[in-house]
Amino acid sequence: MLRTLLSRRRIRMLLAAPALIAVLSIAACSSGPDTRSAAARAAPPPLPAPEQPISREPVRLARSLTSTTRALREAIERWVSRGVPRRGGPPRDVTLLALHQQRMYLVLTGRPKLAARTLARLRGTVLAEARDTLGAHRKLTRLAGPVVPRKRRFKTGRALPAGVLLDLYRKAQRRYGVAWQVLAAVNFVETGFNRLRSNSTAGAQGPMQFIPSTWRAYGRGGDIDDPHDAILGAANYLHASGAPRNYSRALYAYNHSSLYVGAVLAYARRIRRDPRAFYAYYSWQVFVRKPSGGTRRLTGPGLRETP
């Protein structure tokens, strides 16, 4: 049996998973006419700060998650309307909205009662997205198990531009028949699109987290740390393990955990249903859990390790 490509300890390191939410825009209420200028009335709401407080009250949190998700979707549409982004990272509005959304999902993941009361107040596509995203993140949290009570240094780096990654996923799909959304979800779960560069404690390496012995069998002689080679190698391995006929079996071979399989398929389903979700997940940051409780952000605005 081939060794698993991702250990539980690896999941403990990387629990940055799930996608969109914007700043609550509250119309000014007044008994008299709105005397603001047309420019002022048309101005978008301010973007959330990187560490803006997250409400623990269900009604407010649901409103904030809804408005942030909608604003993030609009920001993504503006971003990709200029063409598939093959240079640089996300624009500032996408980065800040995605981070705010991600932090809300992190709060909800660790508080089941709050999550249930908040989701009961969501509607439509925002609710569907929240269910997929929270469900996937909860599975990864269960897979990770308790936090190891020791400090560890992490190596981070920049992700390739979103459009370049899309080209690689689609190239692998054409060659091996593995859906690009599944490859993107694996890349997201394993290393946050290669933002997390540390090897796992089990010895898995590279953007798609291969055990070296498995890489020798399926890596096609490429570089385990090169995103192009790693994505094609992962597609090769998944195809040999049953994809696209049976993604559950193929992903279970990739990582021997039904929780892992469920999480990857949930993210892939969300990306397939709404391609904007790929750009949202791509714009999330890397968080790690602390032995003392809570999480610590390793990448993103305001940090030296900004991807």
State both tokens at 213: 């012995």
Handedness of CA 217, 222, 223, 229 (dihedral sign): negative
Distance, CA of 119 to CA of 183 (rounded, Å): 28
Name the β-bridge partners of 296. 288
> 113-151: per-residue pLDDT in tens?
999 999 999 999 999 999 999 999 999 999 987 776 667
Phi and psi angles of residue 289, each rounded to the nearest 5 degrees, phi first: -80, 140
The DSSP output letter for 27 is P
DSSP state of 282: H
pTM of the predicted model, to two decimals? 0.86
Query: Any idea where the domains of the chain sit in the sequence?
Result: 8-24+52-297
Q: What would the pLDDT profile of 253-289 be if each residue is shown by its tens digit? A: 999 999 999 999 999 999 999 999 999 999 999 999 8
**Residue 167 burial class via C-beta count within 10 angstroms: exposed 0-12, middle 13-18, buried 19 and up:** middle
Per the CB < 8 A criterion, the answer to whether 278 and 159 are in contact is: no
Residue among 204, 291, 217, 182 nearest 7 (CA): 204
